[in-house]
Amino acid sequence: MKSVNQHIWRKVLLPQGSSIQQAISTLDQSAQQIVLVVCAEGRLQGSVTDGDVRRALLRGLDLARPVEEVMNPSPLVVPASMAREMVLHLMRANKIHQIPVVDGEHKVIGLHLWDEVTEPAQRSNTMVIMAGGLGKRLLPLTEDCPKPMLPVGGKPMLELIIERAKGEGFVNFVVSVHYLGHIIEDYFGDGQKLGVNISYLHENSPLGTAGAISLLDPLPQLPIVVTNGDVLTDIRYGEMLDFHLRHDAVATMAVRLHEWQNPFGVVRTEGIQIVGFDEKPVHRSHVNAGIYVLAPSAFEALVTGQQCDMPTLFERIQSAGSSTIAYPMHEPWLDVGRPDDLQLARNKYSV
């Protein structure tokens, strides 16, 4: 456990009256999984956690709405004088990773964190990365290089994904290869140079994201994380796995909130009668982010070597009466499918 120093904990403070979107930006920039809402005098008004934001996204709340609509107005707090052992006890008892420190006037003066980032617990779960796509939209860059091997920040995208997952305790990886797969295998080998274990699935023909994992042998005994090899994101794979386990789901899909504004004024009618107008309305929906967690029982809905995409697998699991859930994302996310996406990624990860 550590207490965030002055220069870091101040980054989680958010002025009273800010928007939900501003809370999300603060979460992403601070990487501390909590935002502390304070008044002008610095007194704590409430907290917003990563989970609070995800629930708001699922409810479809307008992100321009005040943060007070999603914050916890009575978070657990401790005084600076509280002993370390008692802080640890409170964290364990309440199953929380952050506790604000306040003074006698309820002003925020610090933040206790459970330090899981520097020494992540090793996870036995396998992470499967889909790297067999043809990358047609990125031609001619992909004529002699598989898309996940395109360099971003001086490294192949696939290496960035593996390093991020390794930082959260994942050490067992399976990479599904097809197009120019030998380039991937020659570069990564068994994963020894990255300090992880890497094996490969070979698709003789494209099987789709779900069809490819049907080739796993032996079948996993623990839930697996699956990600597309061209998705770069700041998501915490371990937290998504924990979310899946807490909700006892068979399949979990990471989803992104997508907003689209109609460029025209919409006329609402009933028959020939005009009943109202909506000026350039904004439509919101959740879209598939290309990252999943699957329980071992999910494989019962697959046929080995048969083509199947992930939405179809989720539909089969639903039809069998099992639980499929959404993990709403707010973290930065980029599907590198087109040249302009690749340039955005390179700008972000520039060395």
Read out DSSP for 25-39?
HHHHHH-SSEEEEE-
Classify the C-alpha dihedral 215-218-223-225 as positive or negative: negative
Res 166 pLDDT > 90: yes
Domain ranges of the chain: 2-113, 123-348
Q: DSSP H helical segments within the chain, as ranges?
A: 6-9, 20-30, 50-59, 84-94, 157-166, 181-188, 208-213, 237-246, 310-319, 339-348
Predicted local distance difference test score (pLDDT) of residue 140: 85
Average pLDDT in the 126-144 region?
86
**Nearest Cα to Cα of residue 349 among 175, 163, 176, 195:** 163
pLDDT the model gives residue 117: 34
Return d(Cα 42, Cα 52) in angstroms, integer.
22
91 and 97 Cβ atoms separated by less than 8 Å: yes
Query: What pLDDT digit, counting tens, does each position of 247-304 carry?
Result: 999 999 999 887 777 788 888 888 877 788 888 887 777 889 999 999 999 999 999 9
Give exposure, 77-87, as e/b (b: 16+ Cβ within 10 Å). Answer: bbeeeeeeeeb
Residue 4, pLDDT > 60, answer no
Confidence class for position 46, pLDDT limits 50, 70, 90: very high
Per-residue model confidence (pLDDT) at position 311? 94
Above 60 in pLDDT, residue 66? yes
Average of per-residue pLDDT values in the chain:
87
Collapsed DSSP state (helix, strand, coil) of residue 310: helix
pLDDT at 309: 93
2-113 adopts what CATH topology?
Answer: CBS-domain (3.10.580)
pTM across the whole model: 0.71
- For the segment 217-236, the average pLDDT, to the nearest whole number, is 92
pLDDT at 160: 94
Measured CA to CA, the distance from residue 172 to residue 166 in angstroms comes to: 9
| Cis peptide preceding 73, ω within 30 of 0 | no
240 pLDDT band, cuts 50/70/90, is: very high
Tell whether the model's pLDDT for residue 351 goes beyond 60. Answer: no
Per-residue b or e along 37-74, where b marks 16 or more CB atoms closer than 10 Å to that residue's CB? bbeeeeebbbbbbbebbbebbeeebebeeebeebbeee
pLDDT tens readout for residues 68-108: 999 999 999 998 777 677 788 788 888 888 889 898 899 99
Decide if domain 123-348 falls under CATH 3.90.550.10.
yes
- 301 within 8 A of 200, measured Cβ to Cβ: no
Q: H-helix or E-strand containing 48?
A: strand 44-49
